[in-house]
């Protein structure tokens, strides 16, 4: 369980985290989502007591992280920037960290096997690929068999097989009743891994909701209808709460379900070439949500002449 | 997967002894630390052979003053000048290496109270340094004296001040490394720390030499390097501090760096 209350971090005159309050509950994977620069890593460093909040507080399993006497048992962390000495082998890196908490040597061997680094454990961590570095970071997080996991962008640099592996790992950890808090800037990734979402932008809380709810809100119940007789279809479907727009030679209907549209079309004897409920792209929904809070925005000129975004 | 993730033995409390164990693992598992120690030993013993051999081959010197002023102990311990570079680098890298690589975040996540890390590093460094430099200075001394004895100009450990100077050389080197460790904890940057440490130890004494008149001697003796090296010579410079006074002052300087370093370590974001 992670609880943040009015968590605020100021660097000079820049607010990196602005009055953030949220609770991360055990037993589910909670995604921490936001564009780059939204304050995710800063928040995670504050959870781990690495950065001190300017104001507000955050506790892990009921206490500020620094007050835990066996911190590796409470929280396992993977931090975004690699936190490994490049000259040391993966094995010795894990061993040195394990020794601070009296974790036995055999646990070091165990976590190396869990993440599949047996073959390279004695090699210098500096020679690791990004994906191997992530696996070592996850091994570090699992070392103390912690109740709570805080992972900053764990899928960065992993290949598809590695991404699937980490998804399953996170879900199994949550199923064991642990608290799993994972940050990402990719909505699609979170939709497949997390059950709950905490969305931030420019350090502020934008949404604290379940993934299901987020998707439902994002979709907006649009149905795509293609027919050889669009004008007849328009007048058939017209109603007070119905909005119909032309998109690529098809009609996008809001306010009616696909069932209602299909039944009405059959009744009127109109041919349907396509009848498809649209799920708005999650990525688009996420971008709409955080649009106003993107820190660094590039300008893309994909719009054709006369078109406006 | 469930079984393996859950795995064995939970973490126990973080204690100072456990953090010392961890820091020992860190020190011994880096090739760079072993290399620094090896270089220090090569300097200490190498010059302990080289300088006495050259002196014995050219004995007696033409100038009678050189003969009268000859100190066989310091001739066999001349390697300290270069060995302090290697030991100093080791002390600095022991902490700045963690800042440079980001390891410090993993370290502080494991030991969130942080101060046990600094104390553990100091203890591990001091013990390792002494375990390496005490035998090295003794070996350098014994080989050096056996080379000088062919000309009848050797001394031995029983002579007044000699054992103190030999062991004092090891103590001086260790304090140089601890000073580097403290500066590293304060500055957190390898290049800045190395230039500060060697600026203070090597460059400052040279600058002080250019001070006018008696100022050079008055100020010079209080510099960390000159103060600490008072312990390493049998026949001290008449302007130098007394051996243990000088060494005490070097210890004080080191403490003066370590205390604010400890405060900064606890307070700063990492």
Domain co-membership, A96 together with A208: yes
Helix (H, G, I), strand (E, B) or coil at A284: helix
CATH number of the domain where residue A48 is located: 3.40.50.300
Domain co-membership, A149 together with A9: yes
Nearest to A145 among B7, B14, B107 (CB): B7
Interface check B7 vs A, CB under 8 A: yes
- Looking at the domain assignment, is residue A212 inside a domain? yes
In sequence order, which residues have a C-beta less than 8 Å from that of residue B269 and are 6 or more positions away? A45, A50, A51, A52
Cα–Cα distance measured from residue A31 to residue B57, given in angstroms and rounded to the nearest whole number: 76
Domain co-membership, A227 together with A188: no
Identify the CA nearest to A273 among candidates A261, A256, A290: A261
**Radius of gyration of chain B, Cα coordinates, nearest whole angstrom:** 21
For residue B81, the model assigns a pLDDT of 94
Concatenate the DSSP letters of all residues of chain B into one string. -HHHHH-S-------HHHHHHHHHHHHHT-HHHHHHHHHHHHHHHHHHHHHHHHHHHTPSPSSHHHHHT--HHHHHTTTHHHHHHHHHHHHHHHHHHHHHHSHHHHHHHHSTT-HHHHHHHHHHHHHHHHHHHHHHHHHHHHHHHHHHGGGT----TTSTTHHHHHHHHHHHHHHHHHHHHHHHHHH--HHHHHHHHHIIIIIHHHHHHTS-TTHHHHHHTTSHHHHHHGGG-SS--TTSPPHHHHHHHHHHHHHHHHHHHHHHHHHS--
Domain co-membership, A131 together with A237: no
Domain co-membership, A171 together with A260: no
> Measured between beta carbons, which residues in chain B are less than 8 angstroms from residue A68?
112
For residue B7, the model assigns a pLDDT of 52
Yes or no: say if B52 and B145 are a contact pair by the CB < 8 Å rule.
Answer: yes
Question: Domain boundary residue among A161, A188, A216?
Answer: A216
Average pLDDT, chain A: 88
Q: Do B12 and A103 touch (CB under 8 A)?
A: yes
- Looking at the domain assignment, is residue A295 inside a domain? no
> Measured between beta carbons, which residues in chain A are less than 8 angstroms from residue B105?
45, 48, 50, 79, 81, 83
Domain co-membership, A83 together with A99: yes
Containing domain of residue A186, as a range?
Answer: 2-216
Residue A2: phi and psi, rounded to 5, are -120, 130
Residue A27: phi and psi, rounded to 5, are 85, -5
Residue B106: phi and psi, rounded to 5, are -65, -40
In sequence order, which residues have a C-beta less than 8 Å from that of residue A108 and are 6 or more positions away? A91, A94, A95, A98, A143
Q: Do B10 and A144 touch (CB under 8 A)?
A: yes
β A29-33/A179-184 pair status:
parallel
Helix (H, G, I), strand (E, B) or coil at A272: coil
- Looking at the domain assignment, is residue A147 inside a domain? yes
SS3 labels along B140-202: HHHHHHHHHHHHCCCCCCCCCCHHHHHHHHHHHHHHHHHHHHHHHHHHCCHHHHHHHHHHHHH
Residue A297 has pLDDT above 90, yes or no: no
Question: Domain boundary residue among A216, A236, A262?
Answer: A216
Identify the CA nearest to B140 among candidates B53, B24, B64, B227: B53
ipTM of model over 0.85: yes
Nearest to A100 among B1, B4, B110 (CB): B110
Domain co-membership, A206 together with A251: no
Q: Do B10 and A48 touch (CB under 8 A)?
A: no
Residue-wise pLDDT for A67-80, tens only, equals: 999 999 999 999 86
Domain co-membership, A207 together with A274: no
Domain co-membership, A164 together with A263: no
Query: What are the tokens at B105?
Result: 């975040």
- Looking at the domain assignment, is residue A103 inside a domain? yes
Nearest to B269 among A51, A87, A100 (CB): A51
For residue B3, the model assigns a pLDDT of 39
Number of structural domains chain A divides into: 2
Query: Where residue A304 falls among pLDDT bands split at 50, 70, 90?
Result: very low
Q: Do A72 and B269 touch (CB under 8 A)?
A: no
Domain co-membership, A172 together with A273: no
Yes or no: say if B246 and B240 are a contact pair by the CB < 8 Å rule.
Answer: yes
Measured between CA atoms, how close is A244 to chain B, in angstroms? 51
Helix (H, G, I), strand (E, B) or coil at A89: strand
Q: Do B4 and A143 touch (CB under 8 A)?
A: no
Cα–Cα distance measured from residue A236 to residue A232, given in angstroms and rounded to the nearest whole number: 6
- Looking at the domain assignment, is residue A264 inside a domain? yes
- Looking at the domain assignment, is residue A293 inside a domain? no
Identify the CA nearest to A270 among candidates A235, A246, A241, A223: A235
Chain B residue with CA closest to A142: the answer is: B5
Helix (H, G, I), strand (E, B) or coil at A187: helix
Yes or no: say if A286 and A189 are a contact pair by the CB < 8 Å rule.
Answer: no
CATH number of the domain where residue A266 is located: 3.30.70
Domain co-membership, A29 together with A79: yes
Yes or no: say if A6 and A21 are a contact pair by the CB < 8 Å rule.
Answer: yes
Question: A213 or A25, which is more confident?
Answer: A25
Cα–Cα distance measured from residue B53 to residue B67, given in angstroms and rounded to the nearest whole number: 16
For residue A306, the model assigns a pLDDT of 42
Yes or no: say if B230 and B245 are a contact pair by the CB < 8 Å rule.
Answer: yes
Nearest to B18 among A45, A52, A102 (CB): A102
How many CB pairs (< 8 A) connect A and B? Answer: 159
Residue B9 has pLDDT above 70, yes or no: no
Cα–Cα distance measured from residue B269 to residue B24, given in angstroms and rounded to the nearest whole number: 25
Nearest to B7 among A68, A110, A169 (CB): A110
Angle between helices B162-187 and B115-148 (to 10 degrees): 150
Query: What are the tokens at A281?
Result: 């792209």
Residue-wise pLDDT for A152-180, tens only, equals: 999 888 889 999 999 999 999 999 999 99
Yes or no: say if B158 and B148 are a contact pair by the CB < 8 Å rule.
Answer: no
Residue-wise pLDDT for A66-125, tens only, equals: 999 999 999 999 986 678 999 999 999 999 999 999 999 999 999 999 999 999 999 999
Cα–Cα distance measured from residue B266 to residue B113, given in angstroms and rounded to the nearest whole number: 7
Residue-wise pLDDT for A224-269, tens only, equals: 899 998 999 999 988 888 888 888 888 888 888 888 899 999 999 9
Q: Do B107 and A50 touch (CB under 8 A)?
A: no
Interface check B30 vs A, CB under 8 A: yes
Domain co-membership, A152 together with A269: no
């Amino acid at each position: 369980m992670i609880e943040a209350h009015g968590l605020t971090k100021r660097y000079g005159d820049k607010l990196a985290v602005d009055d953030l309050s949220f609770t991360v509950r055990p037993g589910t994977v909670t995604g921490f989502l936001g564009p780059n620069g939204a304050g995710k890593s800063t928040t995670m460093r504050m959870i781990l007591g690495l950065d001190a909040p300017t104001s507000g507080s955050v506790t892990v399993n009921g206490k500020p992280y620094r007050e835990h006497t066996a911190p590796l048992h409470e929280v396992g962390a993977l931090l975004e920037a690699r936190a490994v000495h490049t000259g040391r082998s993966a094995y010795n890196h894990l061993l040195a960290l394990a020794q601070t908490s009296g974790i036995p040597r055999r646990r070091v061997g165990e976590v190396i096997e869990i993440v599949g680094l047996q073959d390279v454990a004695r090699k210098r961590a500096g020679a690791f690929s990004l994906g191997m570095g992530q696996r070592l970071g996850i091994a570090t997080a699992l070392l103390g068999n912690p109740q709570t996991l805080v992972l900053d962008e764990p899928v960065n640099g992993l290949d598809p097989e590695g991404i699937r592996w980490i998804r399953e790992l996170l879900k199994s950890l949550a199923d064991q009743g642990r608290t799993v808090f994972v940050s990402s800037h990719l909505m699609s990734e979170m939709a497949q891994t997390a059950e709950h979402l905490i969305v931030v932008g420019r350090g502020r809380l934008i949404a604290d909701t379940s993934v299901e709810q987020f998707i439902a809100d994002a979709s907006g119940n649009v149905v795509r209808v293609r027919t050889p007789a669009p004008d007849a279809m328009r007048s058939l479907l017209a109603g007070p709460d119905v909005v119909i727009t032309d998109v690529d030679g098809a009609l996008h209907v809001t306010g009616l379900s696909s069932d209602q549209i299909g039944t009405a079309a059959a009744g009127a004897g109109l041919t349907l070439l396509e009848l498809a409920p649209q799920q708005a792209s999650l990525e688009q929904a996420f971008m709409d949500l955080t649009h106003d809070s993107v820190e660094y925005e590039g300008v893309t000129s994909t719009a054709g002449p006369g078109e406006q975004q | 997967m469930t079984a393996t993730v859950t795995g064995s033995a939970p973490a126990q409390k973080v204690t100072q002894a456990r953090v010392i164990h961890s820091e020992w693992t860190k020190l011994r598992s880096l090739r760079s630390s072993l290399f620094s120690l090896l270089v220090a030993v090569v300097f200490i013993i190498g010059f302990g052979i080289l300088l006495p051999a050259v002196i014995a081959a050219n004995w007696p010197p033409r100038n009678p003053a050189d003969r009268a002023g000859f100190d066989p102990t310091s001739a066999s311990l001349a390697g300290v000048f270069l060995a302090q570079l290697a030991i100093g680098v080791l002390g600095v890298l022991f902490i700045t290496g963690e800042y440079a690589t980001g390891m410090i975040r993993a370290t502080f996540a494991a030991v969130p109270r942080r101060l046990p890390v600094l104390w553990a590093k100091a203890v591990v460094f001091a013990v390792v340094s002494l375990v390496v430099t005490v035998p090295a200075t003794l070996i350098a001394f014994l080989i050096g004296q056996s080379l000088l004895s062919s000309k009848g100009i050797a001394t031995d450990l029983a002579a007044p001040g000699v054992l103190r100077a030999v062991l004092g050389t090891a103590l001086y080197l260790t304090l140089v490394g601890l000073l580097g460790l403290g500066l590293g904890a304060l500055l957190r940057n390898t290049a800045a720390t190395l230039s500060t440490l060697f600026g203070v130890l090597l460059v400052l004494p040279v600058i002080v030499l250019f001070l006018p008149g008696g100022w050079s001697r008055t100020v010079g003796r209080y510099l960390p390097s000159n103060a600490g090296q008072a312990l390493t010579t049998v026949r001290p410079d008449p302007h130098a501090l007394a051996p243990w006074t000088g060494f005490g002052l070097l210890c004080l300087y080191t403490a003066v760096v370590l205390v604010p370093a400890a405060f900064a370590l606890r307070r700063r974001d990492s």
